[in-house]
Amino acid sequence: MRETMISTETVSDKKYDLKSLSKAQLVQLCDELGIEKFRSKQIFQWLYQKGAQSFDEMTNLSKDLRERLASVAFIRNISLAQKQVSKDGTTKFLFNLFDNRQVEAVLIPEFFPDGVADRLTVCVSSQVGCVFGCAFCATGKMGFFRNLTPGEIVDQITTINTYCLEIHGKKITNVVYMGMGEPLHNYQSVIHSTDILSDKLGIELSQKRITVSTVGLAKQIKQIAEDEHQFNLAISLHAPSDEKRDKIMPINSSMNLASLKEALQYYYTKTSKSVTFEYLLFDEFNDCDEDAKNLATISKWLPSKVNIIMYNNVLGVELQRAREDRLNKFMRALTKHNVRATVRRSRGDDIDAGCGQLAIREGQPQGKTIAK
Ligand code: SF4
């Protein structure tokens, strides 16, 4: 059966947003226009490998072919509005979208001792705002505006990839879907974007180097397993009991830990893949011995590792980063319970680029982000 094309309602019903199409849909569109299949590969390459922003740049396509394409489709690009570099090298990119919305993405570089770039990880946004309203998250406080298209997701990454090639002399090494928005709430676009990223005619990033994070949308977790996607899955857990999770993550009232457990065990049965539990450590909220014991129990639902993340405080949020002595005690308790856990230190907190800090203040002039 043919895939349903995503047509745009914003330009005309005869026109397609080329970067909203999956590769298969692009082939289908070309087929319907009587354009040979190999041309669709060239178009794909122009869009995602060569960064073409218009049909005119696709110089190996004839003028007639470009005109035929332009009569039914358009290319929508995002543009870089602002770039901020942290003292630790973390770089935050603010992008303008076609409808005057904005999103942020973050480059987190790790360096060898001699200063040469080792890992270049991009944290990408998947939505403008977010509907889930987690208590600790600046994005959640914005409310939800809209989903990003696959092209808007990929464009963030390709822009940062070009920057990495210029500044660090190498392409990005990893992508994490942990920026603004809940990726699995924009399932189809996120899946299309991971396919584009890993395509050899795109930037050819292995799916093993892509991590999609979720607050625990059970149905979509099962869907990933059904569809046999190879990217990694991370769970934003942040509290180890329903009682505590209810207090900071409203999603838990409809999808509690029991439903998360069921979905993850289904995921593991189907994929044999382990997951990562992300756990922001909040002072005197989720950092006591009892919490460590409960976290240990959850981590044994399936093969997993745990990332303990040191929270970057957000203006107006009561929850605070755990103190060092409490962190150390918590880590010792996890070790006692045989949990594989790593501490992730804050990166980019001087530019509000850390976990939970990404947000655009609506009504502000372009380029403004919420001040700490
Ligand atoms: S943590 Fe994720 S799911 Fe929760 S409000 Fe923030 S962006 Fe949304």
Backbone region of residue 173 per phi and psi (left: phi > 0; alpha: psi in -120 to 50; beta: other values): alpha
372: three-class secondary structure by DSSP: coil
pLDDT in tens, 242-269: 999 999 999 999 999 999 999 999 999 9
130 in contact with ligand 1, CB cutoff 6 A:
yes
Q: Which has the closest alpha carbon to 121: 50, 177, 190?
A: 177
149 in contact with ligand 1, CB cutoff 6 A:
no
Q: How far is CA 329 from CA 281, 289, 321, in A?
A: 12, 8, 15
160 in contact with ligand 1, CB cutoff 6 A:
no
pLDDT at 365 over 70: no
pLDDT of residue 22: 86
The confidence band for 20, taking pLDDT boundaries of 50, 70 and 90, is: confident
pLDDT of residue 98: 94
pLDDT in tens, 195-226: 999 999 989 999 999 999 999 999 999 999 99
Atom of ligand 1 nearest to the CA of 127: 7
User: Is the CB of residue 235 less than 8 Å from the CB of residue 273?
Assistant: no
Tokens in use for 88?
């630790």
d(CA 44, CA 331): 47
pLDDT in tens, 35-67: 999 999 999 999 998 989 999 999 999 999 999
- To the query of whether residue 355 is one of the catalytic residues in this protein, the response is yes
pLDDT at 6 over 70: no
The alpha carbon of 115 and the centre of ligand 1 are apart by a number of angstroms equal to 33
The alpha carbon of 300 and the centre of ligand 1 are apart by a number of angstroms equal to 24
CATH 1.10.150.530 is right for the domain spanning 16-74: yes
| Residue to mutate (ligand 1; options 123, 139, 180, 184; most atoms within 8 A of CB) | 139
User: Is the CB of residue 75 less than 8 Å from the CB of residue 96?
Assistant: no
Domain at 79-351, CATH class: alpha beta
| Residue to mutate (ligand 1; options 103, 137, 314; most atoms within 8 A of CB) | 137
What residues does each domain of the chain span?
A: 16-74, 79-351
User: Is the CB of residue 164 less than 8 Å from the CB of residue 171?
Assistant: yes
pLDDT of residue 52: 92
Tokens in use for 137?
């998250």
pLDDT of residue 315: 84
d(CA 354, CA 370): 13
139 in contact with ligand 1, CB cutoff 6 A:
yes
Tokens in use for 30?
């070309």
Q: Which residues make Cβ contacts (< 8 Å) with residue 219, sequence separation at least 6?
A: 263
The alpha carbon of 246 and the centre of ligand 1 are apart by a number of angstroms equal to 14
d(CA 173, CA 120): 5
Catalytic choice (3, 9, 104, 123): 104
pLDDT at 333 over 70: yes
Which residue's C-alpha comes closest to atom 4 of ligand 1? 134
Residue that the structure tokens 């940062």 belong to: 160
d(CA 32, CA 105): 36
User: Is the CB of residue 356 less than 8 Å from the CB of residue 311?
Assistant: yes
Cα end-to-end span (Å), the chain:
51
pLDDT at 352 over 80: no
Higher pLDDT, 332 or 68: 332
pLDDT at 2 over 50: no
User: Is the CB of residue 174 less than 8 Å from the CB of residue 122?
Assistant: yes
pLDDT of residue 338: 96
The mean of the pLDDT values for the chain is 90
* DSSP one-letter code for 2: P
d(CA 47, CA 43): 6
* DSSP one-letter code for 135: T
Residue that the structure tokens 């892509």 belong to: 210
127: three-class secondary structure by DSSP: strand
The confidence band for 3, taking pLDDT boundaries of 50, 70 and 90, is: very low
